[in-house]
Amino acid sequence: MTKKEVLTMVRVFPLNDKYEKAFGKMFSDYYEELGCDEDADHLVNEYILPDLLAGLLRVDLIEEDGALCGFCIYQTDEPGNDWDFKDGWGDIREIYIVVSRRRKGLGKFLLYTAEMRLKESGVKDIYTASDGDAINFFAACGYELTDEECSELDCNVLVKKCGNGCKDCG
């Protein structure tokens, strides 16, 4: 290892009670960055956390060298969920890395971890409804932009089809 190389420790883990407030703060920062005018605290406390506890979605956090620096919210779309855009597909609903930790591969690591967990649960194909700079991020991670649009979110739909034994999925 050269003098310039620095080893970092990265950990991805499910949201738990210990990190609930920190997650809420990051989610508020995320919504502020997006320019959303919805009450982020209300969304976390009335939708995300109850859906997490009900097993309708998952929230993973990522930390680097002990510092919490991002999250990914994902689910398998099914009729029991409030959001069932593509029944049976994995859905990457939200992904966020704090500004100071971006462009280091943490977002890809977090996304690939969510994809792996979705595949382990039986999902074959995964999608996300995104726009703006996020499209480039997802494209760099193997997602393809489709002609499909999610009118409710006014976003493009990107897919990663893994049901045919692709090299990434085995």
Summarize pLDDT for 4-56 with one digit per residue, the tens. 677 789 999 999 999 999 999 999 999 999 888 889 999 999 999 999 999 99
**φ and ψ of 111, to 5 deg:** -65, -45
Residue scoring higher pLDDT (148 or 74): 74
Task: Write down the mean pLDDT value for the chain.
Answer: 88
d(CA 143, CA 141): 6
Least-confidence region, from 15-24, 52-61, 144-153 = 144-153
pTM, to two decimals: 0.89
- Condensed to tens digits (0 to 9), the pLDDT of residues 125-137 reads 999 998 778 899 9
More confident call, 78 vs 113 = 113
Give 151 or 155, the one with higher predicted confidence.
155
Dihedral (Cα; 119, 121, 124, 128), 10-degree rounding: -80
**Averaged pLDDT for residues 83-87:** 81
Q: Of all residues in the chain, what percent carry a pLDDT higher than 70?
A: 91
* pLDDT reported for residue 83: 75
